[in-house]
Amino acid sequence: MDNNNLEQITFGGGCFWCVESCFNMLKGVKSAISGYSGGHKDNPTYQEVCTGETGHAEVVQITYDPAVISYEQLMDVFFFLHDPTQLNRQGNDIGTQYRSVIYYKDAAEKAKAEEAIKVSQESGRWAGIYVTELTQFEKFWPAEQYHQGYYNENPTQPYCSAVVGPKIQKFKKHYGELGMLNEQ
């Protein structure tokens, strides 16, 4: 991976435990870090974000090599991993912290995100109107260390085994068949 040409993207698609774990499996992704973005509180904690009062979303910041994996491929994975038609929730996770959101850095990235939303919506993958927010990126706050790689460290935790594990298995089957996963 060429560290000189790495790019970053930050987005939220529900609970970051699943999103972060899946993106870290992809070829071309140097890192996927769980964190918070989009709110008004500096250095928020998980407990504060869970109240919904900070304005932050649970997000993942991905550092990737665009020579190996494209922005469009990352967007395809993003829309595969969560239901972008659910407003401020993903399944039983309810609140603005679980919103579907893409943080863009400039007008060109905003245009690419708008196109990705359009392509995904037209694909029919999800029935309904997408509610994914497009928001100017301002700041990313990494989540506490125990959230990083949470699923890998806690696969038998009840939420992980009931919700995250099945999503990861579906992801691995689909993107493994496409040859997009790192060798494990």
Distance separating alpha carbons of residues 171 and 124, to the nearest angstrom: 18
Q: Cβ of 133: how many Cβ atoms within 10 Å? A: 18
Which residue in the list 15, 18, 22, 160 is annotated as catalytic? 15
Residue 15 appears among annotated catalytic residues: yes
Q: Which long-range contacts (CB under 8 A, 24 or more apart) does 29-32 make?
A: 29/62, 29/63, 29/64, 29/69, 30/1, 30/3, 30/6, 30/63, 30/64, 30/65, 31/62, 31/63, 32/60, 32/61, 32/62, 32/63
Distance separating alpha carbons of residues 45 and 64, to the nearest angstrom: 26
CA nearest neighbour of 20 among 31, 8, 30, 6: 31
Active-site annotation, residues? 15
